[in-house]
Amino acid sequence: MQDGLYHRDIFLPIRLGFAAFVKYSAHARQAAQDDRYGALTLPAVISTQEADVIEVEVANGKPHKAVLRMRHDDERDLCVVVLLDTCVVKTVWCNLRTDTHGTLDRTKYMAA
Q: Is the pTM of this model over 0.85?
A: yes
Burial class, 32, CB count within 10 angstroms (exposed 0-12 / middle 13-18 / buried 19+): buried
**Other residues' Cβ atoms within 10 Å of the Cβ of residue 8:** 15
Per-residue pLDDT of the chain (112 residues), as tens digits, is 899 999 999 999 999 999 999 999 999 999 999 999 999 999 999 999 999 999 999 999 999 999 999 999 999 999 999 999 999 999 999 999 998 777 889 999 999 8
Helix H or strand E encompassing 7: strand 4-7
Gap between the Cα atoms of 31 and 71, Å rounded: 17
What pLDDT, on the 0 to 100 scale, is given for residue 103?
83
Gap between the Cα atoms of 97 and 70, Å rounded: 10
Helix H or strand E encompassing 37: none
